[in-house]
Amino acid sequence: MRKLITVLSLLLTVAVASHAQEGALILTRGTPATSTLSAENVARVFFFVAVTGEEVNVSAVGEDDLAIGFIVTAADGTILAQAREIEGEQEALAARVVIPTTATYFVTVFAIGERGEGSFSLVLNGEGDLPAVTAPETTDVPSEAAESTAETPSETPATTPSDTGFQEPRQVLLGNGLQVALAWEAPADLNLEVRDPVGNTLFFDSRTSPIGGSFGFDANGFCQIISPNPVETATWQPGFLPTGNYEILVFYRQPCQTPEPVEFTITASVNGVDLPVQTATLTPPLPGQNSTYLTSFRVNEDGTAQFNAGGVYPDSSLNVVVAPPSELASAAQPITRDTTVTGSITQANYFRVFSYEAAANEVVSARATALNGSLDTLLQVTDASGNLVAVNDDSNNSTNSELLGLRLGNAGTYFFIVTRYGKEVGGTEGDFRFELEGAVAQVPPEVLALNVPSGDVQVFLTWQSGADVQLLVRDPAGDSVFDDQLRVASGGQMTLQGNINCNRAPGNPVSYIYWPTGLLRPGNYEIDVWYQNQCNDAAVVDVTLTIIVRGQLVTVENLRMPLNQHYVIGFNVAPDGSAQARQGGFSSTDVTLLPWQQRAAQPITINVPVFGQITDTNPFNVYAFEGTAGQRVTISSLATSPTLDTKLFLIGPNGLQLAENDDSGVVSPTVRRTDAIIANVLLPENGTYTVVSTRYAMIFGNTVGGYSLSVTLN
């Protein structure tokens, strides 16, 4: 006679077929449940809910000469009890099984002996009430019974009903478990991360999960021990696992020797069945940025699985809007301020759009909060023309998104887009809550408490760490006040320089730039906040930027600053002295922040200069020239007015960015330091090359004026 442990090991494999064909059945205390076993259904699965510390008895009896056994398991596959019919006894009994924690538990019944077909009855007897539970779909339970046990949400927003597209993960019995492996053959530190359908994460710094997942060795970790064939694995033990998307992230952390692209493979096995191997390549990461590949696979309720589409997802992808303006407009759901709506993000529908009619200079706050599943929200805001106004991925050390104190500079339609990290190649799913609220700006108390000279223009930067965060204000004449230029001709001056050169200021650091009373000059002002140096202080850097003109608060911007990043915002002073802030944002070296592909390019000829204008309503222009492989060219954008800080991008015939430049650093009678020059670039192929001429910080910049653009052969 085979030992019970042998039967159990086989059961975890064959029970999947039964679970796929007949869903888990509700087991009610004191009421016998009957079912059958056959060659097609070699096991039957039942479930019940019990509370912490409760003791239950489970007994099963086979009819005629059918001998049966069963196991009692938790949702993660942990075995709580097991029993089998013993010769001379009429039932299999597991008595006084202690429940470790309030949860759903499963009883899997199987045949023992030569005969594997027949009927049986199963009884659960225990003390205590049965908590409400949402039953898995099954044709064996009447719909009325299923509805009577459904959970009722504790909070129902006064909003539009939620999408019905997202289905909560269910449990499927995977007798051979699940495994994901990342392999490569290069001296580089790559990292594997896997997010399951209920939001748990496995990677080198999170090695176990509540559903039985575990992470293996951190191959080539920190380049300390180099393996010629590194492999990283995430594994889930056999048992009940959630259905839905398992998202796979691959990070190129650092090269361990010569920086070079690394090809890697992703293999996944679900219940012993290998999925098609995924192969891709990542390039070494740029300083301060991630080099990331994303894909996912879906586990179905019958235990089968398949990969979804994947792709490279650099940090700059956060700034790529999910759809063109026409598609956003047709898909948008109109909302008003102080409104909460709900929706779903799924593999088939990975974004939702809400349209809002804003007044000029209106300030709002927007939040996208995941309600269930694994959803990692991403929030984008565009204007009616598709220009990206703001974006946020993670806020407050969570995967939810929020934009607080968002200033909408122009009157008109704005699109608030709720999507997910990775967008079309992402794998997280779930329901979300979107909130749009008003925001009333007030002068921060720490600013009111300062004893500083007053003025017509006052710009304060405050924060609470040892980091060196730089403040610069550029006046309408194009002159900049900052720590290397404490005064300018227009009267602007800097009197406080918080933590300059990592010299910790007493108390909390403050930087202050102002124009004394009587020196207000109308025109465009531009502010640049730069997180220059961490100064051995690992604290998160949250800064507050306060702008006051003639005693009136213009805006208060609360920002979380990434290291080495620049936040740029402008404000305009009208001839009557009133001021209005423009939309601010982080500067980028990636042309995808601009919708340049939606513009018709103006043809230009090599060695023939053209002239253009950058204005408040026209932050960039697009040009095209014909190039030949092997040619070396220099592209220059020289400001013809002192109020413009030029910037250039060169894009190849394949649509990929080849080069960019902001400040040439050259100072001569014809070239300013802030002029943009892309020098001596080699053209890789024949075809049409695109030049985008813009300004520092692009749509977030506030410099304007004319320029001369030329493409010359070297």
> pLDDT exceeding 70 applies to what percent of the chain?
89
pLDDT for 87: 57
pLDDT for 394: 84
Question: Residue 155 above 80 pLDDT?
Answer: no
What is the C-alpha to C-alpha distance for residues 491 and 455, in angstroms, rounded to an integer?
A: 10
Strand order in the sheet with 43-50: 25-26, 43-50, 103-112, 67-74, 79-84
If DSSP states are collapsed to H, E and C, what string results for 160-213? CCCCCCCCCCCEEEECCCEEEEEEECCCEEEEEEEECCCCCEEECCECECCCCE
Q: 207-217: per-residue pLDDT in tens?
A: 999 999 999 99
Question: Residue 21 above 60 pLDDT?
Answer: no
In angstroms, how far is the first alpha carbon of the chain from the final one?
87
pLDDT for 146: 30
- Candidates 390, 340, 376, 361; CA nearest to 559 is 390
Residues with Cβ within 8 Å of residue 334, at least 6 apart in sequence = 354, 355, 356, 357
Question: Residue 133 above 60 pLDDT?
Answer: no
Band the pLDDT of 89: cuts 50, 70, 90: low
pLDDT for 84: 81
Question: Residue 443 above 60 pLDDT?
Answer: yes
Q: 337-391: per-residue pLDDT in tens?
A: 998 999 999 999 999 999 999 987 787 889 999 999 999 999 999 999 988 888 8
The string of DSSP codes covering 73-92 is EETTS-EEEEEE--TT-S-E
Mean pLDDT of 221-236: 94
**What are the structural domains, with CATH classification, of the chain?**
4-148 (2.60.120.380), 174-313 (2.60.60), 318-438 (2.60.120.380), 445-586 (2.60.60), 591-713 (2.60.120.380)
pLDDT for 596: 93
What is the C-alpha to C-alpha distance for residues 254 and 387, in angstroms, rounded to an integer?
A: 33
User: What integer best gives the mean pLDDT of the chain?
Assistant: 86
Please, are residues 429 and 345 in contact by the beta-carbon 8 Å criterion? yes
Amino acid at 50: A
Q: 380-400: per-residue pLDDT in tens?
A: 999 999 888 888 888 777 899
Cα angle 36, 38, 41 (rounded to 5 degrees) comes to: 85
Band the pLDDT of 672: cuts 50, 70, 90: confident
The residue among 688 and 142 whose pLDDT is bigger is 688
Please name the residue ranges forming H helices in 383-484. 445-448
Mean pLDDT of 643-661: 95
Mean pLDDT of 468-492: 96
Residues with Cβ within 8 Å of residue 369, at least 6 apart in sequence = 377, 400, 432, 433, 434, 435
Question: Residue 248 above 60 pLDDT?
Answer: yes
Question: Residue 116 above 90 pLDDT?
Answer: no
What is the C-alpha to C-alpha distance for residues 246 and 427, in angstroms, rounded to an integer?
A: 7
Mean pLDDT of 118-140: 57
Half-sphere exposure of 243 toward its Cβ, with a 13 Å CA cutoff?
Answer: 18
What is the C-alpha to C-alpha distance for residues 79 and 173, in angstroms, rounded to an integer?
A: 13
Q: Would you mind telling me the total number of residues written for the chain in this entry?
A: 714
Band the pLDDT of 140: cuts 50, 70, 90: very low
Hey, what are 66's tokens? 């059918």
pLDDT for 476: 95
Question: Residue 18 above 50 pLDDT?
Answer: no
Question: Residue 151 above 60 pLDDT?
Answer: no
Least confident of 36-50, 118-132, 625-639: 118-132
Q: Which residue pairs from 309-314 have beta carbons closer than 8 angstroms and sit at least 24 positions apart in sequence?
A: 309/424, 309/425, 310/248, 310/278, 310/280, 310/425, 311/280, 311/424, 311/425, 312/280, 312/282, 313/422, 313/425, 313/426, 314/289, 314/290
What is the C-alpha to C-alpha distance for residues 692 and 459, in angstroms, rounded to an integer?
A: 32
Q: In sequence order, what are the beta bridge partners of 80?
A: none
pLDDT for 562: 92
pLDDT for 144: 31
Q: In sequence order, what are the beta bridge partners of 312?
A: 293
The residue among 72 and 249 whose pLDDT is bigger is 249
Band the pLDDT of 299: cuts 50, 70, 90: very high
Q: In sequence order, what are the beta bridge partners of 626?
A: 688
Instruction: List C-alpha distances in Å: 661 to 648, 649, 694, 711.
Output: 5, 7, 10, 14
Q: What are phi and psi of 452, to 5 degrees?
A: -130, 155
pLDDT for 22: 41
Mean pLDDT of 485-499: 96
The residue among 620 and 409 whose pLDDT is bigger is 620
Mean pLDDT of 138-151: 32
Question: Residue 19 above 80 pLDDT?
Answer: no
pLDDT for 164: 52
pLDDT for 449: 87
Question: Residue 624 above 80 pLDDT?
Answer: yes
- Candidates 268, 275, 244, 433; CA nearest to 347 is 244
Paired sense of beta strands 25-26 and 43-50, if any: parallel
Band the pLDDT of 79: cuts 50, 70, 90: confident
Mean pLDDT of 679-702: 96
Please, are residues 249 and 261 in contact by the beta-carbon 8 Å criterion? no
Mean pLDDT of 534-560: 90
The residue among 498 and 289 whose pLDDT is bigger is 498
Q: 419-441: per-residue pLDDT in tens?
A: 999 999 999 999 999 999 876 56
The string of DSSP codes covering 541-603 is -EEEEEEEETTEEEEEEEEEPPTT-EEEEEEEE-TTS-EEEPP-EE--S-GGGS-GGGSPPEE
Please, are residues 351 and 418 in contact by the beta-carbon 8 Å criterion? yes
pLDDT for 48: 82
pTM, to two decimals: 0.54
Helices then strands (H, E): number in the chain? 4, 52
Question: Residue 23 above 70 pLDDT?
Answer: no
What is the C-alpha to C-alpha distance for residues 297 and 275, in angstroms, rounded to an integer?
A: 9
Please, are residues 694 and 614 in contact by the beta-carbon 8 Å criterion? yes
Please, are residues 428 and 249 in contact by the beta-carbon 8 Å criterion? no
Hey, what are 374's tokens? 């694994």
Hey, what are 577's tokens? 């002295």
DSSP state of 402: E
Amino acid at 555: T
Residue with tokens 């699109």: 415
Q: 586-599: per-residue pLDDT in tens?
A: 998 999 889 999 99
